[in-house]
């Protein structure tokens, strides 16, 4: 189950791309079909590039604890890269 959780975007992108390929290529390969498949692949690549999680800005526990408190309300968000 962890494999599907960590690779869900890739698996979903492959399924959609293959689905479009089956739909478009059922009557043979044409230039418009290749352009559509390339555009979808490029779109998925760009989406992954822009939406992927980045590295944390706080690496040490002391840095996090220093930001918490100080008499002001703090919203904590816990996030995992996977």
Mean pLDDT of 21-38: 93
d(CA 74, CA 65): 11
Q: Which distant-in-sequence residues (6+ apart) come within 8 Å of 74 by Cβ?
A: 67, 68
User: What does the block give as tokens for 63?
Assistant: 């840095």
Indicate the average pLDDT of the chain: 84
pLDDT, one tens digit per residue, over 40-80 is: 999 999 998 888 777 767 677 777 777 776 667 878 777 76
Residue 82 has what pLDDT?
Answer: 59
Query: Would the pLDDT of 81 be above 70?
Result: no
Q: What is the pTM of this model?
A: 0.63
Query: Would the pLDDT of 27 be above 80?
Result: yes
d(CA 43, CA 12): 13
How far does Cα 66 stand from its chain's mean position? 31
More confident residue, 32 or 74: 32
């Amino acid at each position: 189950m962890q494999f599907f959780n960590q690779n869900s975007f890739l698996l979903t992108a492959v399924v959609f791309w293959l689905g479009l390929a089956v739909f478009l290529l059922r009557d043979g390969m044409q230039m418009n079909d290749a352009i559509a498949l390339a555009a979808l692949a490029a779109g998925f690549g760009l989406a992954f590039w822009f939406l992927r999680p980045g590295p944390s800005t706080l690496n040490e526990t002391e840095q996090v604890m220093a930001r918490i408190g100080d008499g002001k309300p703090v919203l904590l968000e816990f996030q995992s890269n996977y």
